[in-house]
Chains A and B, each alone.
Chain A
Amino acid sequence: MVVFSFFIFDRHTECIYSRSWLPPSVMEGPTPSAAVLTPTPSSAITAIPDLEREHERNNQGGRPRDRRSKAAKAGDDAKLIFGTVFSLRNMVRKLGGDDDAFITYRTGQYKLHYYETVSNLRFVMLTDTAAPSMRNVLHQVYINLWVEYVVKNPLSPVEHKGGDGVKNELFELGLDQFIRGLM
């Protein structure tokens, strides 16, 4: 099993933490500009899920994208993921009733796992398609890492504007160990 990336969204819908476990070389793989210039069907069969590209392909408009920094791209990915899980969650609730929960979806390239806490925190994880349900894992991250190292951390603020206080050493170390233990 491979974990690609992990995101936390707070109740103000802001992405307060994101982390990728892809090796840097793979991350840079096909550059964004190249992907736009040659939107051949074969580009869909890359090893990495590139949500943004998929999104642009769906839009079909394809406004030419300028070269942007990786950080900006990651930010866009986070926004896109939030939009996706937010809509899916609402749709699921509309169809299945308020008690129903959106848990996961998978595409040909990746599987997205979703866990929402009572306090409206949203945990999202992207893995390969063969991965089993990670709901439990996300729950563990919440109770063993988030609550312990962020909520009970005296130096961490109550609101995590811009990811303030989440990116602390203990949390990052714990998360890394936990996720690498799964892989």
Chain B
Amino acid sequence: MSFEAVMPPYNASDPHARFLSSSTLDFLLIEIVPMAYRVTHEVEALALAEGGTSGLESGEATAAAAARKMDEDEERDAVFFRLEGLGYRVGQGLVERFSRDRPRFTDTLDVIKFLCKDLWMLVFRKQVDNLKTNHRGVYVLTDNAFRPFSRMSTETGGQAVVRAQPFLWFPCGIVRGALAAMGINASVQADSTELPGAVFQIKTIPAKAA
């Protein structure tokens, strides 16, 4: 991607022209997932150590082992919330910055379209391929070539789809944050059945009900 030509509105002779390597964002997005796992483990170890000092010496080891065993799902949730939270904040900021020259959105579909076209373009450098809605607050965004997945690959039978899931959580947060900044409360879930495709499901939460 870094070898791509820079898009037209730029002037190489302009000394104030600023360029940003797109690879840096790629690397950041790659690293953010293992980082979330590391931070989660560290926080947990810390909590465990604190709990252990107050407890009995002999019971400490078994308690630690039990805590470790339960963790598969807990760990997943903890990492999810961490990544989703980060994405939420990023999404809010992005909308704040890039919707400032736009007229007010009239309805939810307008907002979703802005998300699919403009925001997707900004973050993933392409638009969403397909948008479906049931007109009752559920929107399904299909991206057939989700950018963070474009180079994702493992050995044959390496469970690439399963291992790719955590990389959807930060984008999920971005989507939810962006929607929140535009006044729509929603829950966002993402799934992938085959790389490099991804499907985002947005369920809006009516303001009264919430």
Contacts and interface: CB of A to CB of B under 8 A. Distances in A.
Interface in A123-156: 148-149, 152-155
A138 B151 CA distance: 20
Contacts, number: 39
A152 B155 contact: no
B167 to A, nearest CB: 6
B49 interface: no
A154 B83 CA distance: 15
A167 B153 CA distance: 9
B158 interface: yes
Interface stretch (A20-28, A77-85, A103-111, A168-176): A168-176
A154 B31 CA distance: 8
Contacts of A152: 23, 26-27, 30, 151
Nearest to B157: A169
A168 B154 contact: yes
A149 B151 contact: yes
A170 B158 CA distance: 13
A167 B30 contact: no
Contacts of A167: 155
A148 B151 contact: yes
A155 B161 CA distance: 10
Contact of B155 (A148, A154, A168): A168
Given A154-B33, A154-B148, A168-B158, A149 B26 contact: no
Dominant SS among interface residues on chain B: helix
B205 interface: no
B153 A170 contact: yes
A99 B26 CA distance: 33
A40 to B, nearest CB: 42
Nearest to A148: B151
B145 interface: no
A154 B30 CA distance: 5
Contacts of A169: 153-156
Nearest to A169: B153
B164 interface: yes
Nearest to B30: A154
B160 interface: yes
A156 to B, nearest CB: 8
B152 interface: yes
Contacts of B33: 154
B27 A171 contact: no
A171 B148 CA distance: 16
A155 B27 contact: no
22 contacts: A148-B151, A149-B151, A149-B153, A152-B23, A152-B26, A152-B30, A153-B153, A154-B30, A154-B152, A155-B152, A155-B153, A155-B154, A155-B160, A155-B163, A165-B154, A168-B153, A168-B154, A168-B158, A169-B153, A169-B154, A169-B156, A170-B153
> Which 7 A-B pairs give the minimum distances between C-beta atoms?
A170-B153, A168-B153, A154-B30, A169-B153, A152-B151, A153-B151, A167-B155
